[in-house]
């Protein structure tokens, strides 16, 4: 009796419910009513289907980890199972994942991280004093002196201070305020958070977001998720993928017919296109944003990856300040950085920051509120970010090793950028712009009309067809240009330059051989 | 001339642009046109304002880090500046952040993490062999054997296998498939990802999401972000916050008038309410979800935090399987876990997983695609999750220490749960249900009508007014019940039980004294 009473209290009528319970009661009528419908119920449809799911999520595409990468995974499994292929390994040149390609972590960064993770090591003589000093400082700023506590939603205070100091140094003294720094879960998190706050309106007043074409597909994916309007501006392939302000004007004018363009996204150095913007071009972009009342988002995660001796990285923040107070106190700008790229390549830690200036104070509150829902970015990633912005300096014990490691990575990348450009341009039907920065080649490839027809027969974009063939015949995994966007009728692929030099040479030779064979086959 | 040509090529008309450039040209007319409008422009409004921002983000509330926590931060700063207060420190009992409250990390977990972070330590004799074995296994599954590489979007394979093995053990042999496991950035990330996929439709067919009241405010925040419809079902405070299936029926029936209820969220053990659901109640909830065609989301992050000897944690997955194939092969269920709670309290690493069963295969593809846009959860958090699900076992070198540390944390929490319940119930005008599990007390507080009037005069919810006063007078930071939801006319607050025993006693005594004084003042 007591059990039945308890069940009634919980609102659960006792009955004879077959598989879902064992209790017996007088409410048999109700139970048998339930039993009668069961055969129909047991064949019930899923609640969550392609038809019923969020259509904005369904519309999302993300080529960098899309079908080509799934195929690469299948081929790897086949190789493991001993199935014979014309190659022995899959080379994942689809994603900028340096350490997966064999790049070694920066010793100092990992030493500080290990000390933070397991503070007993602070007593160990095998760790340098400067690493211990960094670790102690980070831990002192963490709740309970532990990486295991939540941080403030905006990030650990002293790390935000270090980021601000880094930006000030980088920009030759242009001040940065720790209060404008937000640590993030990689740059992607910051970019999608800012876009999330910006998107509003319906119909013709829906927010338009201007993005470069080719773009990094995070942008199109988030725009799709948010049901915002993607406004394409095309980079000028004939001029080393330069950003042409006339093209921005064309894009914004056309967009005004069907949406409210409110955001301009810039990727500098470019991904996938590798161009580095000139100072003058940045000025013109900022002026354009000012004129058109656009919120500027500057994706500057490749700021350390500039290889061409004729190019230099200028931050949007620095140029904005140098343009005078009318700009520097008016233009809303969010700039993004990450631990994943540069010379450290710590992708797995998901560290990043954004600096957001000229934000309306009320919006600052809204941003912190939104960030607080996810509690905080990974504190280990925040610590990694700290080392990126606060590395050993001359005179410190670890400086020499750090400097050697950093220069070696960046020197190698510069060498590989040149090598890739040169080798691609030796292949008939491939044209590759200079890789001024970032980590990718985005060569244009000629695809003969017979191959275009073959692709159509397979219901594939022609460059997807090309990349699938390349993967199947050589094991090299690259991403079709259609995943990034390209001018109608042109075809490209994105390939990272991260494999070690000798391997990269082999990869490039294989692409060359494949391409020549491909042209012959579909001539 | 060359410079001008270059500028034209970049689409940047050379002109005399005052502060934004230094070039001189014949296009002076255009420049002066720009100059003329500048005074107006320089006073320009921000693009991103409370009026123009995403209204769904504006509607988000997140009490756990809301105004009371901002106030706590201000008071801390004042204390640092030497401003005298009736207390010397702020006690942040607003958030379940164990290590910030002084709980020590589990040694074994941090040893494995340190070894993964800095693999040179694998040669060190000061680390136990079982920790090295775990670290080697994790590293071998990482790209380039490094935590610094991206993992697969779903998470590192071998960690997903360990999670599946853990679930199978936990559920007494009910099978778990690694393919259904998704590693996440804390549980919050998984919960919002699943909700994001589920929400669709407009008007009366907009997705309704059933959540308990009181709830953990992540749910209401994400529902707001997604513009979904929040469907409240009330827990039964008179019956230890039990979940009453009749109340679910009421809620779903009423909701059908204005939305399409498609999801049922359960938090077990409860947050903020601390109840542990009986097996029978879980059965009834599952049957209800089956009847009403609801997607089940089971937030089970407190599965290790059960203190009442009369209670036991049953996973929804286990009960679902034991109800037979009509349920186990039909009901779509996502269950969430985290590294942040339990006995390890590793909040900062943002580790978590979800197990999603009976997902339509096409939706599985959509889910992986959506996850891939953010690349991967932090790999260090994934490694932490691995140790949580794959701890030392009897016979292993680290077992004894691990076991002692774990039992000490959980034993202390059980003691503090009882202590808190007992002490609160000694205070006139406070009633506290048993803390069967989780990490919080959610006592009901009597607020006299004069205090309600005073709160209204301050434009505050009465319990916010109460909590602000408590903070200002004692330094104790708790979260008002209105942030979690409560029945109209009732008032509560949520307080963590994480401070060390002696400190907790002081905290409880201070709350008691404050409450008595408060009742007197507003009698």
CA atoms within 13 A on the CB side of A342: 25
Q: Which residue of B has its CA nearest to A382?
A: B348
Instruction: Work out the pLDDT band at A4, boundaries 50, 70, 90.
Output: very low
Confidence of residue B191 (pLDDT cuts 50, 70, 90): very high
Closest approach of B221 to chain A, Cα-based (Å): 7
Q: Do B49 and A363 touch (CB under 8 A)?
A: yes
Decide: residue A70, CB within 10 A, 0-12 exposed, 13-18 middle, 19+ buried. middle
Greater pLDDT, A44 or A501: A501
C-alpha–C-alpha distance, residues B268 and B245, integer Å: 15
pLDDT band at B22 (very low <50, low <70, confident <90, very high): very low
First CA to last CA distance, chain B: 85
Looking at residue A306, what DSSP letter applies? B
Predicted confidence at residue B44, as pLDDT, reads: 65
Residue A352, φ and ψ in degrees, nearest 5: -175, 170
- Between positions 97 and 126 of B, the ones with CB within 8 A of A are 97-103, 105, 110-111, 113-114, 117-118, 121, 124, 126
Q: Is the pLDDT at B274 greater than 50, yes or no? A: yes
CA–CA separation, B352 vs B371, rounded Å?
14
**What are the distances in angstroms from CA B143 to CA A99, A347, B156, B467?**
7, 11, 9, 49
Q: Which residues of A touch B20 (CB under 8 A)?
A: 283, 286-287, 323-324, 327
In terms of domains, do A366 and A477 share one? no
Helices (H) and strands (E) in chain B, counts: 19, 14
**Is the same domain home to B81 and B32?**
no
Structure tokens at B52: 């123009």
pLDDT at A19 over 80: no
Query: Looking at residue B449, which CATH number applies to its domain?
Result: 3.90.1150.10
Number of CB atoms found within 10 A of residue A58's CB:
17
Q: Give the whole-angstrom CA distance, residue B157 versus residue B179.
A: 9
A178 DSSP assignment: G
Query: What is the full DSSP assignment across B174-234?
Result: ----GGGEEEEEHHHHHHHHHHHHH----GGGSEEEEEEES--THHHHHHHHTT-EEEEEE
The reply to whether residue A114 touches residue B111, judged by beta carbons under 8 angstroms, is no
In a domain, B195, yes or no: yes
Residue pair A504/A424 in contact (Cβ under 8 Å)? The answer is no
The rounded distance, in Å, linking the Cα atoms of A221 and A230 is 10
Helix, strand, coil tally for chain B in percent (to 5): 50, 10, 40
Please check whether residues B201 and B300 belong to one and the same domain.
yes
Terminal-residue alpha carbon distance, chain A: 85
Q: Quick check: A27 and A14 in contact, CB under 8 A?
A: yes
Q: Which of residues B145 and B372 earns the better pLDDT score?
A: B145
Question: Is residue A52 a part of any domain in this protein?
Answer: no
CA neighbours within 13 Å on the CB side: how many for B253? 6
Residue contact B280–A50, C-beta within 8 A: no
Closest approach of A343 to chain B, Cα-based (Å): 12
Q: What is the pLDDT of residues A471-516, one digit of tens each?
A: 999 999 999 999 999 999 999 999 999 999 999 999 999 999 999 9
User: Residues B369, B415: one domain?
Assistant: no
Q: Cα separation of B339 and B347, whole Å?
A: 6
> A236: which DSSP letter?
B
For residue B317, pLDDT over 80 is answered with yes
Q: Which residues of B51-87 are buried (b: 16+ CB within 10 A; e: fewer)?
A: ebbbebbbebebbbbbbbbebbeebeeebeeeeeeee
Task: Report the C-alpha gap between A18 and A55 in whole angstroms.
Answer: 38
- What does the alpha-carbon distance between residue B483 and residue B503 come to, in Å, rounded to a whole number? 25
Residue B60, pLDDT score: 84
Question: Which single residue is written with the structure tokens 């979904």?
Answer: B228
Q: What burial class does residue B382 get, using C-beta atoms within 10 Å of its C-beta: 0-12 exposed, 13-18 middle, 19+ buried?
A: buried
Q: Tokens 């039980």 — which residue?
A: B497
Q: What does the DSSP 8-state code read for residue A149? A: S
B369 interaction partners in chain A (CB closer than 8 Å): 60-62, 65-66
Domain presence at residue B219: yes
CATH classification of the domain holding A123: 1.10.287.1970
Contact A348, B150 (CB under 8 A): yes
| pLDDT above 70 (res A37) | no
% residues pLDDT > 90 (chain A): 83
The verdict on residue B441 lying in a domain is: yes
The CB density around residue A523, as the number of other CB atoms within 10 Å, is: 8
Residue B491 in any domain: the answer is yes
Alpha carbons A311 and A278: distance in angstroms, whole number = 7
Our count of domains for chain B comes to 3
CATH number, domain with residue A191:
3.40.640.10
The DSSP code for A242 is B
C-alpha distance from B145 to closest chain A C-alpha (Å): 8
Mapped onto helix, strand or coil, the DSSP state of residue A183 is strand
Q: What share of chain A is helix, strand, coil (3-state, %, to 5)?
A: 50, 10, 40
User: What chain A residue is nearest to B222 in terms of C-alpha separation?
Assistant: A373
Interface check for B235 against chain A (CB to CB < 8 A): the answer is no
Average pLDDT of chain A? 90
Q: Are B346 and B110 in contact (CB under 8 A)?
A: no
CA nearest to A290 within chain B: B41
Percent of chain B with pLDDT over 90: 82
Asked if residue B229 is part of any domain, the answer here is yes
Interchain CB contact of A11 with B (< 8 Å):
yes
CB B148 to CB A345 under 8 A? yes
Query: Which of B34, B198, B239 is closest, CB to CB, to A54?
Result: B198
| pLDDT for residue B163 is more than 70 | yes
Q: What is the DSSP letter of B494?
A: E
Question: How many Å lie between the alpha carbon of B149 and the closest alpha carbon of chain A?
Answer: 5
| Residue ranges of B 171-210 with Cβ closer than 8 A to chain A | 185-186, 188-189, 192, 196-200
Per-residue b or e along B297-315, where b marks 16 or more CB atoms closer than 10 Å to that residue's CB: bbbbbbbbbbbbeebebbb
pLDDT at A44 (0 to 100): 65
Nearest chain A alpha carbon to B279: A21
Answer yes or no: is B443 within a domain. yes
As a whole number of angstroms, the distance between CA A69 and CA B411 comes to: 48
> Which string of DSSP letters, residue by residue, matches B310-339?
T-----HHHHHHHT-HHHHTT--EEEEEES
Tens digits of residue pLDDT in B60-72: 887 766 788 889 9
Contacts with B, A 236-255, CB within 8 Å: 236, 239, 242-248
B33 and B87 assigned to the same domain: no
Average pLDDT over residues A412-427: 96
Residue A399 near residue A274 (C-beta atoms within 8 A): no
Give this complex's ipTM.
0.88
Residues B303, B12: Cα–Cα separation, whole Å: 61
Q: Which residues contact B165 (CB under 8 A, 6 or more apart)?
A: B176, B389, B390
B71 & B183 share domain: no
C-alpha distances out from residue A234 to A256, A485, B7, Å = 17, 9, 17
Of A64, A153, A247, the CB nearest to B11: A247
Is the domain of A244 the same as that of A174?
Answer: yes
Taking phi over 0 as left and psi of -120 to 50 as alpha, with beta for the rest, B138 belongs to alpha
In-domain check, residue A57: no
Write the pLDDT tens digit of every residue in B137-152.
999 999 999 999 999 9
Q: What's the pLDDT score for residue A404?
A: 97
Contacts of B54 in chain A (CB under 8 A): 196-200
Neighbours of B163 (CB within 10 A): 27
Nearest CA in chain A to B200: A54
Give the mean pLDDT of B337-363: 95
* Contact yes or no for A332 and B7 at CB 8 A: no
Within 13 Å and on the Cβ side, how many CA atoms surround B393?
Answer: 5
**A274 and A135 inside one domain:** no
The residue of chain B nearest to residue A58, with distances taken between CA atoms, is: B366
The more confidently predicted of residues B36 and A437 is A437
Do A130 and A180 belong to one domain?
A: no
Q: Please report the pLDDT score of residue A230 as a whole number.
A: 96
DSSP A264: E
Eight-state DSSP code of residue A259: S
DSSP, collapsed to helix, strand or coil, labels residue A293 as coil
B446 & B481 share domain: yes
Residue B505: band (very low, low, confident or very high) from pLDDT cuts 50, 70, 90: very high
Same domain, B88 and B176: no
Is A445 within 8 Å of A515 (Cβ atoms)? yes
The boundaries of the domain holding residue A213 are 157-389
Q: d(Cα A325, Cα A335) in Å, to the nearest integer?
A: 19
**Of A423-432, A446-455, B68-77, B309-318, minimum mean pLDDT range:** B68-77
Check residue A29 and give its pLDDT. 38
Chain B positions touching A325 (Cβ under 8 A) are 19, 42
Q: What is the DSSP letter of A44?
A: P
Distance CA B234, CA B237 (A): 9
Instruction: Record the tokens describing residue B493, joined without a space.
Output: 């607050």
Q: Report the relative pairing of strands A430-431 and A444-445 from DSSP bridges.
A: antiparallel
Q: Test A278 with B10 for CB contact under 8 angstroms.
A: yes
Contact B49 A362 (CB under 8 A): yes
The answer on B482 and B346 residing in a single domain is no
Give contacts of B42 with chain A, Cβ < 8 Å. 325-326, 330
What is the greatest pairwise CA distance in chain A?
88
Does any CB of chain B come closer than 8 Å to the CB of residue A373?
Answer: yes
Please check the confidence at residue B442 and state whether its pLDDT lies above 90. yes
**Residue where the block lists tokens 């308890």:** A6
Chain A segment 311-350 residues within 8 A of B by beta carbon are 323-327, 330, 332, 344-350
Q: What is the 3-state secondary structure (H, E, C) of B41-99?
A: HHCCCCCCCCCCCCHHHHCCCCHHHCHHHHHHHHHHHHHHCCCCCCCCCCEECCCCCCH
Which of B357, B11, B331, B423 minimizes the C-alpha distance to A284? B11
Helix, strand or coil, per DSSP, at residue A99: helix
The overall longest dimension of chain B from CA atoms, in Å, is 87
Residue B56 pLDDT grade (very low, low, confident, very high; cuts 50, 70, 90): confident
By Cβ distance, the residue of A225, A243, A370 closest to B57 is A370
Write the DSSP assignment of B134-165 as a string of letters: HHHHHHHTSGGG-TTS---TT--HHHHHHHHH
Query: For residue B58, what are its two tokens?
Result: 């504006």
Looking at A361, A389, A417, which one is the last position of a domain?
A389
């Amino acid at each position: 009796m007591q059990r039945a009473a308890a069940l009634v209290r919980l609102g659960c009528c006792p009955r004879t419910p077959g598989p879902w319970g064992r209790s017996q009661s007088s409410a048999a009528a109700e139970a048998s009513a339930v039993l009668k419908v069961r055969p129909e119920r047991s064949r019930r449809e899923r609640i969550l289907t392609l038809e019923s799911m969020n259509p904005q999520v369904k519309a999302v595409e993300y080529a960098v980890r899309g079908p080509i990468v799934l195929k690469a995974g299948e081929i790897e499994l086949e190789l493991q199972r001993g199935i014979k292929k014309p190659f022995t390994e899959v080379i994942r040149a689809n994603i900028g994942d340096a350490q997966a390609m064999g790049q070694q972590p920066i010793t100092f960064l990992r030493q500080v991280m290990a000390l933070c993770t397991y503070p007993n090591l602070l007593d160990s003589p095998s760790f340098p004093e400067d690493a211990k000093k960094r670790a102690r400082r980070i831990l002192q700023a963490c709740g309970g002196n532990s990486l295991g506590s939540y941080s403030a939603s905006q990030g650990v205070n002293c790390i935000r201070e270090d980021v601000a100091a880094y930006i000030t140094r980088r920009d030759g003294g242009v001040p940065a305020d720790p209060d404008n720094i937000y640590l993030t879960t990689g740059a992607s998190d910051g970019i999608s958070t800012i876009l999330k706050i910006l998107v509003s309106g319906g119909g013709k007043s829906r927010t338009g977001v201007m993005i470069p074409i080719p773009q990094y597909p995070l942008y199109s994916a988030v725009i799709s998720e948010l049901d915002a309007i993607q406004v394409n501006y095309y980079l000028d392939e004939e001029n080393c993928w330069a950003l042409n302000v006339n093209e921005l004007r064309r894009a914004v004018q056309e967009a005004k017919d069907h949406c409210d363009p409110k955001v301009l996204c810039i990727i500098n150095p470019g991904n996938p296109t590798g161009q580095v913007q000139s100072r003058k071009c940045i000025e013109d972009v900022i002026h354009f944003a000012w004129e058109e009342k656009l919120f500027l988002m500057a994706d500057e995660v490749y700021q350390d990856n500039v290889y061409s001796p004729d190019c230099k990285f200028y931050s949007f923040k620095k140029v904005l300040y140098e343009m005078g107070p009318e700009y520097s106190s008016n233009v809303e700008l969010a700039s993004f950085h990450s631990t994943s790229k540069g010379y450290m390549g710590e992708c797995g830690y998901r560290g990043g920051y954004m600096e957001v200036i000229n934000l309306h104070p009320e919006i600052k509150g809204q941003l912190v509120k939104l960030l607080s829902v996810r509690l905080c970015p990974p504190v280990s990633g925040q610590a990694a970010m700290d080392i990126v912005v606060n590395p050993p300096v001359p005179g410190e014990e670890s400086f020499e090793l750090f400097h050697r490691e950093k220069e070696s990575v960046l020197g190698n990348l510069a060498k590989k950028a040149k090598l890739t450009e040169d080798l691609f341009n030796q292949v008939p039907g491939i044209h590759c712009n200079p890789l001024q920065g970032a980590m990718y080649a985005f060569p244009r490839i000629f695809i003969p009309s017979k191959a275009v027809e073959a692709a159509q027969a397979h219901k594939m974009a022609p460059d997807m067809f090309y990349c699938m063939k390349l993967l199947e015949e050589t094991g090299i995994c690259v991403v079709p240009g259609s995943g990034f966007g390209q001018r109608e009728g042109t075809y490209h692929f994105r390939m990272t330059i991260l494999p070690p030099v000798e391997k990269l040479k082999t990869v490039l030779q294989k692409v060359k051989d494949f391409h020549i064979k491909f042209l012959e086959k579909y001539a």
